[in-house]
Structure 1
Amino acid sequence: MAVPAAAARRLLALARSRRAFWSASWSADQAAPSASSPPPDSNSKKKKAPSGSAPHRLAAVMDAVNERKLPPELRGRGNAVRSETDIVNVVEQRIWHSMEEGHFENLPGKGKPLNLNSNPHADPAEDTLYRILSRNGCAPEWVELNKEIRGMIAGWRSALKKAWANQSEVDGSSWNDDCRVLQEQIRQINDKVFRYNLIVPFGRQMFGLNWEKEVDKLKSK
């Protein structure tokens, strides 16, 4: 068993020596600079695409299209900054020139009242319904409810001011009683405001009353 063990040790040593030789040779080749290749230039810049390349042609076409969209006063200024102010100035100049030349004198409908019978932004069914109600001297429900709510708010604020002015005369018990009544009234008003906001056209909603904010307004006066 001694001979095979010695042979195995020699084979292992030979393999290690070959591995070390090839590793050293590869490291030397990587460390040594190539004589044929020039050293890298740290100041070299990235080459631009040639003028005949596809990206260059595409950019030229886009510039030409954008140029045609501009007013004649702003064309031919490739290096100029076309700000929004420049475009607005051109538009204002054209409007003034048109006014001086009288282009706004013979507009259709000049001197005539506006046609307010129809609303192009409203729903056609609702617009027809409102016109029928108007012809018969009736107002939509939300209009009548709006008037009622505004009247209730005005009366409630008057009662709040009166209660606030009388709250320091005795011991404050009357103020506590008035607060309970006013808070119940404000709840009823806010219920009507909630119903109003459900039936009113979009954009005409209103805010309800807030007890703390209303009292703070009186304190700040």
Structure 2
Amino acid sequence: MDIFEKIAEDKIREAMEKGEFDNLSGKGKPLELEDLSRVPEELRAGYKILKNAGILPEELELKKEIISLQDLINCCYEEEEKQLLTQKLSEKILRFNILMEKRRVKNAALRYYKNRIYQKLGY
């Protein structure tokens, strides 16, 4: 155990003895673990931070906007407004598809180079 781990352990022990952890929300309840298996490993920490801050990742924000626009179009009776909403919907879908394609290409390239590095290292 290095010096920083020792200091951290001592601070945690002190806090426990003072009862600073006794009134935490969720005490005695099981942890709610999130399934992040579908999120690329390199993005998980960032997604978690954004979620805790109440900020959606760009692709989820776009998906939410797409669903809202589809609902508005379904309820719209004026043809001119419906065309405007349909145009906005097309733009959002295009932006979403471009974003997802960039992510697929990036992830494929990362996997390729990761595999090459592992091969060179003999794994």
Question: Taking structure 1 as the reference length, what is the TM-score of the superposition?
Answer: 0.28
Q: TM-score, normalised by structure 2?
A: 0.46
Q: Relative contact order (C-alpha < 8 Å, sep 6+): which is higher?
A: 2
Task: Please state which structure has a larger fraction of its residues in helix.
Answer: 2
- Which one has a bigger Cα radius of gyration? 1
